[in-house]
């Protein structure tokens, strides 16, 4: 009996890997066709991507990008585990980064006080912004998809309004860029100097901690079990004693708090201020990465790295004469394939397991055992 | 005209679904006109001239009768004059009296049913299956329907008529097949059969029922409900009373059975006791503590075990492994957790124990709950709920959809726990189960507890009669009057329809 359990587990693992692999392969095929259609050689492009992408400076770049993407993926995944579609991660991280930057610019305290304060401010802002959607959902039944999309737009408008000289921002020396007051040097997050390859952002440590916390809380605590229960079946959850409404609001807040962290690697390690060119749209990237990583902490990390790799290498392809839109095509196809592949593999896995269990039990019944007599 | 009778859940509908190609049989054959056939889809069945009139009409309100009839069968006679002529022809031939150009929303229930029948005839059906056609009709309409059906019969069509209303069945059918728990019990001629005999065949009172043992009822009250009331305002703004002044007491070691036709408030009563629904008035007292405003989780921790009526929706996480399902509902209790952390090892070990003790047939604890059969899922749930030494067990249809072996095992577990002082609230549609297990019986009708009975003397027929709201107060078993009460029961069914 033990053997069978192991076999099912191994098979489950195989099925788990099969889906993303299938998706990436399908994406490669489609990309090949697209590049062929533009009249260029796809294999040159791929080999260029591999050589360029594995260079040491690329590695650092990819890790830095992946840090941001990982946080975005985790933030979205928390919602997904609850069956909540938090599209608002995008607005949550931007408004969080903005207020954190404003606070950071105003603080004159030493770094060991400022940095935690900035991070907490970002998390609190993100949580609050997400809480609006959460409260609307539990009290008025507003779909979180709709409300978070709206809140994204509102966040954009609020930032645009406040990011003006005389409000919460100032005109930079060059006279072209409007930004919040830059962070004092003491509030910069630590970086790891890798020599010629560049600086590795220290925030990657925080991202790893978030990943571990995500795994631990969901998989090892009562709270996480309740959260997953609600995600799998609201009716079973409420019958088992979980307050579904409270859970929805709580998980929305947590998702928002993690979303607040998304802008922090950029703010504390890179730009040190919030200006008009602060990265946008990472919330949506997070959705793609969470899907790709199957809401699994390791899977999300792989997804984030893949995303970083694709961005780095396709940017370079442009210099080699390829069209930069290739990036969008690859990413789009991957996400599409992933969604399809997961559903196909999941259904196949469930069905297969049912058959296996049925077959195993039939075999048990055929050879009468002690157990049979008990029944 | 062939009638099919049986209790709720006896397998009537399943049989009809197989006949109509909506489900596949595991074994056995269907023969139409001497030819063995297999139906994979309803279209196959229609192709063979079998048509079904569902209990719940499948018609579009915003279309006319003509449009409803041709919908999906446009190829037969088009959608215009030819179709209209055909509808008129069928309508006249069987005196269905249908006007093709009326909007469906203007029609009453009886007219809609005739449209459904016409729809089936239009598609060329020679065999009609009617699933509980009289449930929605008033008596005059029932008579009119029967006239229509006789007309159809006279024209050489076959009608299969599903019902559990004995009076109707006897008056209209040429032959009656009774099924119980999925097997044919008897096929009888209405001429030589009384409704008493039919009722006995249906409920199977000669079957060994779950035995009553010596009473273990103590005089320590465990669960007390006092004046529980629950009302719900529906979409039209009409307030509907679901639970009306429910009061009862269950003592330690007592099984209180609640009989009633489904949908009379039993589910809501359970949910109110579990704290899933908040009643508008009344108190729930468990073991001397008022738990009226205590959240579900705390009620469970206080020793309430719950076997929900819909195990897939309320009792299991179908895509989660068995050991996670073992935690469900008891995440705060040992051996599932220590403090805020899950005790995965403890939960897994205990799942193994439950599988052994309750004979859950599974290759392991890492398979998903969905891959187990219904009976094994239910045994897992029973095992889980019994593992936390409950003081009170709420068992809603504990053996529904469970095979006979598992059923006996579940009954044994409930009896054993009752001996040790467990109080049980038992809700069931299986009257044998209710009478066999309960120490006290109450009848629920339209949100009220209308009658009580002594399970030692009451017969399923008498109980069935009370379930339709015909009797109230204390039901006494009157010697020698069983025939009379069964006849009453048949009439009451018609009362109910009114």
B384 or A24: which leads in pLDDT: B384
State which H helix or E strand residue B36 sits in.
Answer: strand B35-37
Least Cα separation, residue A228 to chain B (angstroms): 10
Nearest chain B residue to A365, by CA:
B361
pLDDT given for residue A127 in this prediction: 94
Mean pLDDT for chain A overall: 84
pLDDT score recorded for residue B481? 40
Taking the C-alpha atoms of residue B43 and residue B125, their distance in angstroms, rounded to an integer, is 11
Q: Chain B contacts of A356, Cβ < 8 Å? A: 363, 371
Give whichever of A23-27, A144-148, B252-256, B384-388 has the largest mean pLDDT.
A144-148
Select from A90, A88, A97 the least CA-distant residue to A163: A97
pLDDT tens across B94-142, in order? 878 888 888 887 777 778 888 888 888 888 888 888 877 776 666 667 7
- The percent of residues in chain B predicted with pLDDT above 70, rounded, is 84
pLDDT given for residue A216 in this prediction: 93
**C-alpha B384 chain-centroid distance:** 25
Contacts of B298 in chain A (CB under 8 A): 241
B271: nearest Cα among B296, B301, B244, B246 = B296
CA atoms within 13 A on the CB side of B222: 24
Contact check, Cβ <8 Å, A375/B362:
no
What pLDDT is recorded for position B42? 77
Q: Of A9, A226, A353, which has the smallest distance from its Cβ to B368's Cβ?
A: A353
Mean pLDDT over the full length of chain B: 78
B328 touches chain A (CB under 8 A): yes
**Smallest Cα distance from B245 to chain A, Å:** 24
Q: What is the pLDDT of residues B39-64, one digit of tens each?
A: 777 778 887 888 888 766 778 878 88
Per the model's pLDDT, the better-predicted residue between A356 and B157 turns out to be B157
CB pair distance less than 8 Å for B331 and A222: yes
B272 at interface of A, judged by CB pairs closer than 8 A: no
Q: Which of B30-34, B70-74, B376-380 has the highest mean pLDDT?
A: B376-380
Mutation site for B-interface testing, chosen from A227, A241, A245, A365 by largest number of B Cβ within 10 Å: A241
User: DSSP string of A26-80?
Assistant: HHHHHHHHHHHHTTS-HHHHHHHHHHHHTSHHHHHHHHHHHHHHHHHHHHHHHHH
Q: Is the pLDDT of residue B484 over 60?
A: no
Asked whether residue B85 carries a pLDDT value surpassing 50, the answer given is: yes
How many whole angstroms from its chain centre is CA B398? Answer: 13
C-alpha dihedral, A228 to A230 to A236 to A238, nearest 10°: 130
SS3 A277: coil
The larger pLDDT score, comparing residue A197 to residue A250, is at A250
With H, G, I as helix, E, B as strand and everything else as coil, classify residue A303.
helix
Interface with A, mutate which of B328, B339, B369, B378 (most A CBs under 10 A): B328
pLDDT at position B164 is 64
What pLDDT score was predicted for residue B7? 61
pLDDT reading at A349 higher than 60: yes
Q: Which of residues 199-238 of A touch B (CB under 8 A)?
A: 219-226, 228-229, 232-233, 235-236, 238
Residues of A in contact with B352 (CB under 8 A): none
CB–CB contact B329 A239 (8 Å): yes
Asked if the peptide bond before residue B335 counts as cis, ω within 30 degrees of 0, the response is yes
CA distance A242 to chain B (A): 7
- What is the arithmetic mean of pLDDT over B62-89? 82
* B318, B337, B359 ranked by CB distance to A371: nearest: B359
A-B contacts (CB, under 8 Å): 110
Instruction: Provide the pLDDT for residue A375.
Output: 35
Q: Dihedral angle at the C-alpha atoms of B368, B369, B370, B374, nearest 10 degrees?
A: 150
Asked if the Cβ–Cβ distance from B364 to A8 is below 8 Å, we say yes
Of A261, A316, A309, A286, residue with least CA distance to A124: A261
B402–A contact, CB cutoff 8 A = no
Q: Which residue from A8, A243, A350 is facing B370, i.e. has the nearest CB?
A: A350
Position with higher pLDDT, B34 vs B304: B304
Give the whole-angstrom CA distance, residue A121 versus residue B345. Answer: 39
What's the CATH code, domain B221-497? 3.40.50.300
- Judge whether A74 and A258 are in contact, CB under 8 Å: yes
* % residues pLDDT > 90 (chain B): 0
pLDDT at B284: 84
Give the model's pLDDT for residue A19.
Answer: 77
Give, in order, the Cα–Cα distances in Å from A338 to each of A15, A65, B482: 13, 21, 66
Of A225, A233, A239, which is closest to B306 when you measure between CB atoms? A239
Q: Measure the CA–CA gap between B87 and B392, rounded to whole angstroms.
A: 59
Residue numbers of B between 334 and 373 with CB closer than 8 Å to A: 337, 340-342, 344, 359, 361-368, 370-372
Q: How far is CA A277 from CA A231, A359, B80, B86, in A?
A: 37, 60, 64, 71
Across the interface, of A224, A241, A375, the residue whose CB is closest to B300 is A241
Chain A nearest-CA residue for B332: A222
Note the pLDDT tens digit of each residue in B285-300. Answer: 888 888 888 888 888 8
Judging contacts by C-beta atoms under 8 Å, the chain A residues touching residue B318 are 232-233
CATH dotted code for A41-321: 1.10.3470
Are the beta carbons of B328 and A236 separated by less than 8 Å? yes
User: In chain A, what are the domain boundaries?
Assistant: 41-321
Query: What are the start-end ranges of the E strands in chain A?
Result: 170-171, 178-179, 191-193, 199-201
Q: Which residue from A232, A353, A358 is facing B317, i.e. has the nearest CB?
A: A232
Comparing CA positions, the residue from B288, B318, B280, B259 lying closest to residue B463 is B259
Please name the residues in contact with A351: beta carbons below 8 A apart, sequence gap of 6 or more: none
**pLDDT at residue B261 tops 60:** yes
With contacts defined as CB-CB under 8 Å, which chain A residues touch B409?
375
A356 — pLDDT class (breaks 50, 70, 90): confident
Predicted confidence band of residue A354 (pLDDT cuts 50, 70, 90): confident
Subunit contact A2:B364, Cβ cutoff 8 A: yes
Among chain A residues, CA nearest to B294: A241
Task: Give yes or no for B409 touching A (CB within 8 A).
Answer: yes
Strand pairing of B221-233 and B281-286? antiparallel
Contact B363 A360 (CB under 8 A): yes
Tens digit of each residue's pLDDT (9 = 90 or more) over A157-204? 999 899 888 777 777 777 777 888 888 888 788 888 877 778 888 889
Q: Is A357 on the interface with B (CB under 8 A)?
A: yes
pLDDT in tens, B397-434: 888 767 666 777 888 888 888 888 888 888 887 777 88
Q: Which of the following CATH numbers is that of domain B2-203: 3.90.1720.10, 3.40.1190.20, 1.10.357.10, 3.40.50.300?
A: 3.40.50.300
Residue B73: strand, helix, or coil? coil
pLDDT per position as a tens digit, B203-245: 665 444 455 566 777 777 888 888 888 887 766 666 777 888 8
- The Cβ of residue B420 has, within 10 Å, a number of other Cβ atoms equal to 10
Q: Decide: A97 and A274 in contact? Cβ < 8 Å.
A: yes
What digits encode the pLDDT tens for the residues A55-70? 888 888 899 999 999 9
Of all residues in chain A, the percent with pLDDT exceeding 70 is 92
- Give start-end residues of each CATH 3.40.50.300 domain in chain B: 2-203, 221-497
Is the pLDDT reported for residue B483 higher than 50? Answer: no
Q: Does A351 touch chain B (CB under 8 A)?
A: no
Q: What share of chain B is helix, strand, coil (3-state, %, to 5)?
A: 40, 20, 40
Share of chain A above pLDDT 90, in %: 26
Looking at the complex, does the CB of residue B231 fall below 8 Å from at least one CB of chain A?
A: no
CB contact under 8 A, A236 and B368: no
- Shortest alpha-carbon distance between residue B337 and chain A (Å): 7
**Shortest Cα–Cα distance, A232 to chain B (Å):** 7
Considering only CB atoms, which chain A residues are within 8 Å of B327? 225
Query: Which residue, among B131, B134, B102, B129, has the nearest Cα to B115 in the 3D structure?
Result: B102
pLDDT value of position B234:
63
Q: Is B412 helix (H, G, I), strand (E, B) or coil?
A: helix
On whether the CB atoms of residues A252 and A76 are closer than 8 A, the answer is no
Please give the angle made by the CA atoms of A268, A274 and A278, to the nearest 5 degrees: 95
What's the rounded Cα separation, in Å, for the pair B7 and B493? 13
* Number of helices (H), then strands (E), in chain B: 18, 21
Which residue of B315, B364, B403 to mutate against A (max A Cβ within 10 Å)?
B364
Q: What is the pLDDT of residues A36-51, one digit of tens each?
A: 888 888 888 888 888 8
């Amino acid at each position: 009996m033990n053997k069978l359990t192991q076999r099912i587990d191994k098979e489950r693992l195989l099925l788990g890997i099969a889906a993303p692999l299938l998706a990436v392969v399908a994406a490669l095929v489609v990309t090949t066709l697209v590049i062929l259609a533009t009249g260029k050689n796809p294999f040159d492009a791929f080999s260029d991507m591999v050589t360029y992408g594995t260079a040491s400076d690329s590695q650092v770049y990819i890790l830095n990008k992946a840090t941001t993407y990982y946080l975005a993926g985790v933030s979205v995944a928390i919602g997904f585990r609850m069956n909540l579609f938090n599209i608002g991660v995008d607005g949550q991280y931007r408004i969080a980064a903005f207020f954190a930057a404003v606070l950071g610019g105003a603080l004159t305290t030493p770094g060991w006080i400022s940095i935690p304060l900035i991070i907490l401010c970002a998390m609190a802002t993100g949580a609050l912004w997400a809480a609006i959607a959460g409260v609307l959902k539990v009290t008025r039944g507003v779909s979180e998809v709709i409300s978070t999309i709206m809140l994204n737009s509102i966040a954009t408008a609020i930032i645009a309004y406040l990011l003006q000289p005389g409000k919460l921002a100032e005109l930079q020396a060059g006279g072209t860029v409007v930004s919040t007051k830059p962070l004092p040097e003491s509030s910069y997050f630590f970086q790891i100097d890798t020599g010629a390859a560049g600086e590795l952002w220290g925030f990657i440590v925080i991202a790893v901690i978030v990943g571990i916390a995500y795994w631990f809380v969901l998989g090892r605590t009562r709270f996480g079990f309740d959260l997953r229960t609600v995600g799998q079946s609201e009716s079973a959850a409420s019958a088992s004693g979980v307050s579904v409404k409270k859970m929805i609001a709580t998980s929305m807040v947590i998702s928002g708090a993690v979303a607040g962290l998304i802008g922090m690697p950029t703010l504390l390690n890179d730009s040190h201020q919030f200006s008009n060119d602060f990265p946008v749209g990472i919330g949506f990237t997070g959705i793609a990465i969470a899907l790709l990583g199957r809401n699994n902490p390791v899977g999300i990390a792989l997804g984030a790295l893949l995303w970083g790799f694709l961005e780095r290498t396709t940017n370079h392809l442009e210099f080699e004469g390829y069209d930069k839109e290739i990036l969008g095509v690859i990413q789009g196809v991957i996400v599409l394939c992933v969604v399809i592949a997961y559903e196909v593999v999941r259904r196949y896995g469930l069905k297969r397991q049912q058959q296996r269990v049925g077959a195993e039990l039939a075999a048990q019944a055929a050879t009468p055992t002690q157990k049979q007599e008990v029944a | 005209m062939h009638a099919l009778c049986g209790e709720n859940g006896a397998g009537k509908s399943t049989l009809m679904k197989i006949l109509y190609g909506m489900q596949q049989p595991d074994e056995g054959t269907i023969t139409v006109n001497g030819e063995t056939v297999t139906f994979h889809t309803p279209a196959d069945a229609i192709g063979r001239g079998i048509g079904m009139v569902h209990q719940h009409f499948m018609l579009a309100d915003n279309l006319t009768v003509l449009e409803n009839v041709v919908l999906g069968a446009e190829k037969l006679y088009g959608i215009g004059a030819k179709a209209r002529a055909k509808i008129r022809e069928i309508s006249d031939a069987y005196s269905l009296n249908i006007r093709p150009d009326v909007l469906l929303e203007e029609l009453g229930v009886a007219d809609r049913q005739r449209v459904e029948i016409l729809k089936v005839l239009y598609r060329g059906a020679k065999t009609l299956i009617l699933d509980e056609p009289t449930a929605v009709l008033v008596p005059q309409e029932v008579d009119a329907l029967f006239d229509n059906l006789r007309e159809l019969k006279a024209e050489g069509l076959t009608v299969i008529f599903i019902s559990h209303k004995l009076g109707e069945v006897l008056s209209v059918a040429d032959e009656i097949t009774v099924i119980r728990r999925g097997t044919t019990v008897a096929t009888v001629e209405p001429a030589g059969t009384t409704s008493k005999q039919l009722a006995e065949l249906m409920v199977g009172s000669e079957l060994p029922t779950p035995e009553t043992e010596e009473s273990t009822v103590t005089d320590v009250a465990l669960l007390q409900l006092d004046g529980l009331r629950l009302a719900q305002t529906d979409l039209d703004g009409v307030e509907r009373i679901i639970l009306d002044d429910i009061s009862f007491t269950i003592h330690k070691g007592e099984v209180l059975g609640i009989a009633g036709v489904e949908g009379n408030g039993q589910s809501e009563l359970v949910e109110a006791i579990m704290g899933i629904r908040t009643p508008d008035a009344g108190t729930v007292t468990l073991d001397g503590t008022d738990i009226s405003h205590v959240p579900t989780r705390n009620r469970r921790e206080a020793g309430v075990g719950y076997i929900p009526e819909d195990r897939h929706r309320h009792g299991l996480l179908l895509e989660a492994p068995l050991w996670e399902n073992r935690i469900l509902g008891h995440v705060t209790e040992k051996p599932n957790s220590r403090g805020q952390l899950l005790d995965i090892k403890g939960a897994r070990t205990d799942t193994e124990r439950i599988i052994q003790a309750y004979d859950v047939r599974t290759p392991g604890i890492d398979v998903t709950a969905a891959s187990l059969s219904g009976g094994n899922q239910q045994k897992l749930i029973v095992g889980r709920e019994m593992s936390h030494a409950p003081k009170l067990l709420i068992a809603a249809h504990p053996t529904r959809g469970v095979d006979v072996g598992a059923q006996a095992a579940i009954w044994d577990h409930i009896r054993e726990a009752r001996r040790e002082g467990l109080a049980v609230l038992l809700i069931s549609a299986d009257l044998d189960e209710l009478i066999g297990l309960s120490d006290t019986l109450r009848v629920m009708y339209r949100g009220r507890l209308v009658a009580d009975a002594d399970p030692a003397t009451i017969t399923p027929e008498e109980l069935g009669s009370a379930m339709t709201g015909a009797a109230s107060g204390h039901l006494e078993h009157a010697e020698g009057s069983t025939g009379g009460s069964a006849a009453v029961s048949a009439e009451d069914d018609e009362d109910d329809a009114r």
